[in-house]
Amino acid sequence: MIRPLPVALSADRLEAGIPDLKPLLTESQAIVEANRCLYCHDAPCIQACPTAINVPEFIKRIGTGNVEGAAKTILEANILGHSCASVCPVEVLCAGACVYNELQEPAIMIGRLQRYATTYAYDRGLRFFGKGQSTGFRVALVGAGPASLACAHELTRLGHEAVVFEGRALPGGLNVTGIAPYKLHAREALREVEYIQQIGFEIRPNVLVGRDLPFDELASDFDAVFLGVGLGPDSRLDLPGEDLPGCVGAVALIERIKNEAGFRLSGVTRAVVIGGGNTALDAVRELSALGVPHVTMLYRRGEAEMTGYSHELAAAKREGAEVRFWAAPVAIEGQDRVSALRCERTRIDSDGKLERIPGSAFVLDADLVVKATGQEKLATLLSGIAGLTLERGRVVVDPETAQVGRSKLFAGGDCSNGGKEVVNAAAEGKRAAKGIDAYLKGVARPANLEVSAR
């Protein structure tokens, strides 16, 4: 039974007031931009896409007025092509590989053309894929994020019954709860989930595997299991004052901005975001977009060592954010709530290690401190599953099939890649579906070692 998704998003959410920084192209804009494409024979843009979308083909179809065909080309390669059009870091992927960069000309706006085509399909209810002939096999998928959605869609096309178990009320993973609203609003992410699910697989919300449903029971009831659980809550810094009101994790904050009715940043005039990754930059840009007058990003190393994308950093600076490099937090100060962040300067010592500089302490006034230094691995769930091998908290899988060891268990997305882009999760989910299909049909099938809980 395909149950309708609950739509529990109020209009009274902060993200509703955050504009799209890359608005949808008009028809004339899309045609003009599509006709700039050189349709390179070696297509470096295809090679740069983890899902290998045939970029020149879909762009040429837009340029000739075949937008339906363009959408089919995109979604055939990546069923999450709609959200990826908005959230992908195209500057370092497809558009970053565009030959126009070598000519010192603006790269083709691949992401915006992709969004134009998929929106065209969504608005018209165009469906390109259907259920395959039933094989009789049943596959459980844990977590309803991009990896599981891509996997479930492909499994359904291959004729397998897919059932997705999601611990939250709403499916979609970080697209719904954690992607910065200036890139993708939650309602648009849910629209994509509904589009994908219409092929005919089931999503069961509010079922947390390991709590509401024992993993060994799940494994015994299904012919294969796919783990697409993502990452856990924001990591702690273990600083004095970390539990004061006004000190929050970046992922938790973005979720409240995207999903919580009535949530406001009342009284926040000075915010400090700790971290140097893309989540930190998302938090910085969101706070600036929401009108916080003074937003500072604090990073313990230099700009060259940041894991966040340089184009996002440049945008954050243009939007008025201050960046403090070579500084680390020491304590969060305040009585009833956060009032300041105490920091110290840092440097690299003679052994190449990061150290704090004695006597270099300084204080940043702050009404809000946002921790963006990573997310916890879901150790509780993962440690309860026999047969898993973990490396640095990541599930080790066969890179070709996504299979865990020689079992009926498969994995993809953040729990196995450590936290990459949505497009990576989509690629891994689809690849896992192919691996599961081969396993179930006995193509080069290994000995089936049953997965069970310890």
- Determine the pLDDT at residue 406: 80
Q: What are the E-state strand segments in 372-442?
A: 390-391, 394-395, 409-411
Equal fold, 138-232+377-440 vs 247-371: yes
Q: What is the pTM of this model?
A: 0.92
Q: How many residues does the chain have?
A: 454
- Determine the pLDDT at residue 272: 98
| Location of structure tokens 């704090």 | 356
What's the pLDDT band for 4 if we cut at 50, 70, 90?
Answer: very low
Average pLDDT over residues 409-429: 94
pLDDT digits (tens, 9 = 90+) for 156-169: 999 999 999 999 99
| Location of structure tokens 């954050």 | 316
Average pLDDT over residues 360-374: 96
CA dihedral sign, ordered 18, 20, 21, 26: negative
Average pLDDT over residues 322-328: 97
- Determine the pLDDT at residue 383: 65
pLDDT digits (tens, 9 = 90+) for 428-437: 999 999 999 9
Cα–Cα distance measured from residue 229 to residue 164, given in angstroms and rounded to the nearest whole number: 11
What's the pLDDT band for 453 if we cut at 50, 70, 90?
Answer: very low
pLDDT higher than threshold 70 for residue 122: yes
CATH number of the domain located at residue range(s) 22-123 in this protein: 1.10.1060.10
Average pLDDT over residues 415-429: 94
Average pLDDT over residues 15-27: 91
Give the list of residues 6+ apart from residue 440 with CB closer than 8 angstroms, or none: 135, 137, 139, 160, 223, 224
- Determine the pLDDT at residue 393: 78
What's the pLDDT band for 444 if we cut at 50, 70, 90?
Answer: very low
Average pLDDT over residues 335-356: 95
Q: What is the mean pLDDT of the chain?
A: 92
Q: What are the E-state strand segments in 86-232?
A: 138-142, 161-165, 202-204, 224-227
pLDDT higher than threshold 70 for residue 238: yes
CATH number of the domain located at residue range(s) 247-371 in this protein: 3.50.50.60
- Show me where the domains of the chain are located: 22-123, 138-232+377-440, 247-371
138-232+377-440 folds as FAD/NAD(P)-binding domain (3.50.50)
Average pLDDT over residues 114-131: 97
Sheet holding 224-227, edge to edge: 202-204, 161-165, 138-142, 224-227, 409-411
Give the list of residues 6+ apart from residue 244 with CB closer than 8 angstroms, or none: 332, 334, 336, 337, 338
pLDDT higher than threshold 90 for residue 120: yes
Average pLDDT over residues 377-393: 72
Average pLDDT over residues 319-335: 96
Average pLDDT over residues 185-206: 96
Decide which of 226 and 375 is more confident: 226
pLDDT digits (tens, 9 = 90+) for 133-145: 999 999 999 999 9
